[in-house]
């Protein structure tokens, strides 16, 4: 597994990370097998959120692994806070309370990374800044980031927050390509030329913010997996053709396609199958040409101007 250095930090992370949203549905033995398989394959970065399984995913992660200092040192743990039932909450009080809850469930004294989970329309950057400073000063959180935020939302935070924003989780996959579509179809009167996110891809690259693509195998908004899906015959034919030529699975190609982008993104895979983790991790060793990248992009139904 290749590693990437995260700008404005001392973090050296696996270029593929494991998302733990669904592990609360597994038995402890299955969770232990999943996480240890990921570690054996070179994944050192694990993504959580306080809402995953209502906190159960964090809790079962630590319980299944019998979390201890020796094991903790091998991992980089990220969690997210800010989503509440029926609302978003970036208040100082909630951020501090949420982190304490996550630390308790994860059986750890610190988080490597804390992300604000989706934008809060009522955000007060000064309160976020106070919370981040307290968490950093008390050694509870080392680094900070956001999810699903556009450039101006990040700039608003940066006006008050002193810590660097080092990550931004965004939806990106072969079938969810709006981040690159607008940049390819500049100044055209077609749907793909619409800038839906304030050029967040270029903004993150310019500001040394690492993008973490979520749901890299999903199409739409959790509408299903595009791999081996009859709705995408041309795409699957092309992916399978390239997968066969490179001796890997179609899932590995879907991740290799993301890794080929020079933004050095860190995709989050959410599989709960240990064998699938092994297959996907082979993406780290795949060399994808520029031509192959564009072939897959076009097979997904996109067009070049």
pLDDT digits (tens, 9 = 90+) for 155-191: 999 999 999 999 999 999 999 999 999 999 999 999 9
Which residues in the chain land under pLDDT 50? none
pLDDT digits (tens, 9 = 90+) for 219-239: 988 889 999 999 999 999 999
Q: Calculate ∠ Cα 121-122-123, nearest 5°.
A: 95
Query: Which stretches of the chain are assigned E, i.e. beta strand?
Result: 3-5, 12-14, 17-19, 45-47, 76-81, 83-84, 87-88, 111-116, 141-147, 165-171, 210-214, 218-219, 224-225, 268-269
Do the Cβ atoms of 18 and 76 come closer than 8 Å? no
Q: Is 97 among the domain residues?
A: yes
- State the DSSP string of 208-261: T-EEEEE-TTEETTTTEE-TT-TT-HHHHHHHHHHHHHHTS-HHHHHHHHHHTS
How high is the pLDDT of residue 236? Answer: 98
How high is the pLDDT of residue 171? Answer: 97
The encoded tokens of residue 31 equal 């969770």
Q: How many domains does the chain have?
A: 1
The encoded tokens of residue 238 equal 């092309």
Q: Is 187 among the domain residues?
A: yes
The single residue listed with the structure tokens 């390239």 is: 242
Give me the catalytic one of 52, 143, 219, 297.
Answer: 52
Q: Calculate ∠ Cα 169-109-138, nearest 5°.
A: 85
Q: Which domain holds residue 174?
A: 3-299
How high is the pLDDT of residue 77? Answer: 98
Q: Is 304 among the domain residues?
A: no
Q: Is 52 among the domain residues?
A: yes
Q: Is 96 among the domain residues?
A: yes
Q: Is 305 among the domain residues?
A: no
How high is the pLDDT of residue 223? Answer: 87
Do the Cβ atoms of 232 and 224 come closer than 8 Å? no
Q: Is 132 among the domain residues?
A: yes
Q: What is the pTM of this model?
A: 0.97
Burial class (CB in 10 A: 0-12, 13-18, 19+), 125: middle
Closest CA to 284 of 10, 14, 7: 14
Which CATH number belongs to the domain containing residue 285 in this structure? 3.20.20.100
The question of whether 143 is a catalytic residue gets the answer no
How high is the pLDDT of residue 221? Answer: 85
Q: Is 59 among the domain residues?
A: yes
Residue 29 to residues 18, 65, 271, Cα–Cα distance (Å): 17, 9, 16
List % helix, strand, coil for the chain (3-state, nearest 5): 45, 20, 40
């Amino acid at each position: 597994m290749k590693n990437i250095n995260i700008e404005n930090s001392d973090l050296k992370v696996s270029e593929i990370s494991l998302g733990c949203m669904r592990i609360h549905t597994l038995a402890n033995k299955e969770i232990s097998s999943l996480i240890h398989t990921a570690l054996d394959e070179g994944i050192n970065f694990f993504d959580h959120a306080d809402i995953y399984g209502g906190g159960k995913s964090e809790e079962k992660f630590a319980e299944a692994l019998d979390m201890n200092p020796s094991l903790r040192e091998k991992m980089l743990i990220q969690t997210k806070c800010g989503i509440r039932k029926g609302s978003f909450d970036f208040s100082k009080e909630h951020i501090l309370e949420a982190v304490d809850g996550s630390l308790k469930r994860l059986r750890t004294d610190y988080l490597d990374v804390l992300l604000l989970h989706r934008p809060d329309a009522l955000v007060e950057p000064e309160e976020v800044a106070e919370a981040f400073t307290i968490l950093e000063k008390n050694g509870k959180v080392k680094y900070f980031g956001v999810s699903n935020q556009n450039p101006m939302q990040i700039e608003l935070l940066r006006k008050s927050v002193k810590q660097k924003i080092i990550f931004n989780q965004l939806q990106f996959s072969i079938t969810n390509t709006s981040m690159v579509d607008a940049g390819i179809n500049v100044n055209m009167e077609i749907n793909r030329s619409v800038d839906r996110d304030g050029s967040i891809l270029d903004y993150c690259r310019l500001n040394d913010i690492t993008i973490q693509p979520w749901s890299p195998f999903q199409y739409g908004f959790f509408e299903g997996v595009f791999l081996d899906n009859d709705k995408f015959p041309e795409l699957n034919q092309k992916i399978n053709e390239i997968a066969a030529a490179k001796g890997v699975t179609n899932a590995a190609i879907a991740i290799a396609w993301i890794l080929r982008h020079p933004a050095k993104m860190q995709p989050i895979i959410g599989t709960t199958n240990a064998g699938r983790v092994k297959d996907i991790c082979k993406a780290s060793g795949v060399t994808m040409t520029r031509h192959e990248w564009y072939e897959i992009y076009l097979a997904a139904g996109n067009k070049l101007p």
